[in-house]
Structure 1
């Protein structure tokens, strides 16, 4: 009768796909991504209306320069100020810029210079926005839910690409470039109050990877917190280089993207023209890729954990590279679309697992810089393979170029399986 009643057991934390805080972040991210899609359609349409096709191409390419040059600095800023503050500020600037150009076009008509300035502003803000977006998931959920969050983020990207294109085209048809820019600004503005309402969790020291698993890299992480911005930048790069998992993982990601971006962009267009598939056939192949990538994102969202993450990433990269090479030797559209589904599954799986490993292996205080390096590899270096792929196809044809690209991509998987610490890397349960 006098025994002390046991305390009620603490309720287990909600999985990410049922957590209102994570869902608010996901809604904000989705609205921002749809706004981005509408913005690019509005920019391309306005640029074509204001100048020649070559001038429009230059305007579309302008944003890539500040994005590549400032990306690493954006990672430092995200770590110093906090990712949510940086994302909210970036979305506010992008929203204001889109509304300002919409008003300018309404009052004066299209012109190349305002569009080029807008592209520069978006590129510079993207250099800050992208590292902060990559660092934010670790602040809104626990480490054991980051794989599920990567799947949810992949679903948001697929949804934005499916909805954003038709929505942007409808906005241009109804209101011209002015209406499309206004819609883009409105969608981006929608993300700001949602982000403000997201609760950001503190990152205790125990939430960082175990020091014993990262050798001197974890110890050196203490030396890159604080100081000048330049010291933070150099220290972050040194941290990645010395890390037993992050260093080879960055190299594997770089090789995988270099071998993947060219064939699936320029190479696929040239392949469709060579085979006589036409735009509709290329659309079916791209749709197959989207279906595969969306399916694996849904799987990760529901499952939430994959064992043997390092091995899974390496094997998926290698298998995906074989599928990429096979695309060039399939004569029929139906077969190519089927292989594209397989490419989407494998590329989506390896990309999501690699992203989750980046999130969980990196010291939380350096996650913005780690994400910035990953983004620079994917968005700065990998697109260089597109003109090279186009030139190579003109000389050697699609078959040899796809095979070489597949070999480059597969080399990333070989590195993932060949480096012991990366091969044995696991995601938290």
Structure 2
């Protein structure tokens, strides 16, 4: 049994809790707006919907490393304040414009490009904030609390967006997003990060600073293997709920309700684990615990594929959710705490980039396998890869030596 490093009686700083509340509020506004943009685009057909979603994802992916470099250069708080102001302006313009002229494809694409570009700069800085506001010994608990909140937002965001758009249309979603970003903007004005950006005399060319972030990530002890492990996990865990659960539900006649139940149970399991870690702290052998959690996710996938029944699938996805929480809460703090303070945003940018690129490949590969054979074949493939990743992590001395 592991012993928590963090002292349960020591509370997370009020500044962090204040920022986290604002960040989760704006995340909810974003989730509602993203749903509204996709829904508005779907009126124009599947090609238009894909184009709008791509207009968000493409600049976000292409500019992440640059966004991380800017965050470390001028300060995460300043980048986020500017990003919040941009999003308030975009949301207000979108609300007013869609009220008067509706939602033509060109308007949606332009809005998507601005949102995606803003995300590329905002997300790395936001990812660095737990360490910017919390002492190193509490980072694990801080990240676990943030993860539980983010998971909850991801569960309720799309349904809330659907209800809001159905009753009040796209303008209402845009107004809500503007209000939520206004809240987090007020919060950011009040909080003060621990680390200051470097003086101008130490700055290099922005492209070189971005590449320096990649170099640091793969030369700092433990960071490179942890990044690769996260990439493998993301590529074969996230598509399970978005691709394979709907396919399995159709094959076994569980219906949309059954698929929703399975996704909800998996999310609930993750929330339970992350909340526990946010209270009790991270185990001392964080690397080994994370590897064990990843292996348990793979076993949960095998259970879902083998049983072919709704009760068995519920048990499997519950194991997946609980184990995913273990993996996330024990490996993510390593990626944040091992990074030098002057590279926090760049390492977070690289983390987001490797996950995005991996998902771009695995989403298509998993979907192709499921279509060519059966969904269960893809399920077994995902499970086997995760168990292989866990085995590679166990064999890695750098991962085994990771402690909180």
Counterpart in the other structure of 2:35: 41
Counterpart in the other structure of 2:143: 150
**Alpha-carbon distance, 1:145 to partner:** 0.5
**Alpha-carbon distance, 1:139 to partner:** 1.0
CA contact (8 A) 1:155 1:294 kept: yes
Distance 1:13 1:251, change over 3 A: closer
**Alpha-carbon distance, 1:18 to partner:** 4.5
**Alpha-carbon distance, 1:316 to partner:** 1.0
Counterpart in the other structure of 1:263: 240
CA contact (8 A) 1:62 1:116 kept: yes
**Is residue 126 from structure 1 mapped to residue 128 from structure 2 by the alignment?**
no
Alignment of 1:33-182 (within 5 A): 33-49=27-43, 51-182=44-175
CA contact (8 A) 1:265 1:386 kept: no
Q: 5+ unaligned residues in a row in structure 2: which ranges?
A: 1-5
**Alpha-carbon distance, 1:183 to partner:** 1.2
Counterpart in the other structure of 2:316: 339
**Is residue 273 from structure 1 mapped to residue 273 from structure 2 by the alignment?**
no
Counterpart in the other structure of 1:26: 20
Secondary structure in structure 2 of the residue aligned to 1:63 = helix
Alignment partners' CA distance in 2, 1:17 and 1:267: 40
Counterpart in the other structure of 1:194: 187
Point out the more displaced range, 84-93 or 162-171: 162-171
Selected match of 1:355 from 332, 338, 359? 332
**Is residue 385 from structure 1 mapped to residue 362 from structure 2 by the alignment?**
yes
- Provide, for residues 218-244 of structure 1, a one-character-per-residue CA deviation record: whole Å limited to 9, x for no partner: xxxxxxx63211221222211222223
Secondary structure in structure 2 of the residue aligned to 1:265 = helix
Secondary structure in structure 1 of the residue aligned to 2:32 = helix
TM-score (norm 1): 0.88
Counterpart in the other structure of 1:221: none
Distance 1:37 1:355, change over 3 A: same
**Alpha-carbon distance, 1:14 to partner:** 9.8
- Provide, for residues 100-136 of structure 1, a one-character-per-residue CA deviation record: whole Å limited to 9, x for no partner: 1111111112201000111111111111111111111
State the Cα RMSD in Å.
Answer: 2.1
Alignment partners' CA distance in 1, 2:398 and 2:203: 28
Distance 1:106 1:277, change over 3 A: same
Q: 5+ unaligned residues in a row in structure 1: which ranges?
A: 1-11, 205-224
Greater Rg, structure 1 or structure 2? 1
Alignment partners' CA distance in 2, 1:318 and 1:203: 39
**Alpha-carbon distance, 1:71 to partner:** 0.6
Alignment partners' CA distance in 1, 2:262 and 2:360: 20
Counterpart in the other structure of 1:218: none
CA contact (8 A) 1:172 1:179 kept: yes
Alignment partners' CA distance in 1, 2:203 and 2:322: 41
**Alpha-carbon distance, 1:365 to partner:** 0.8
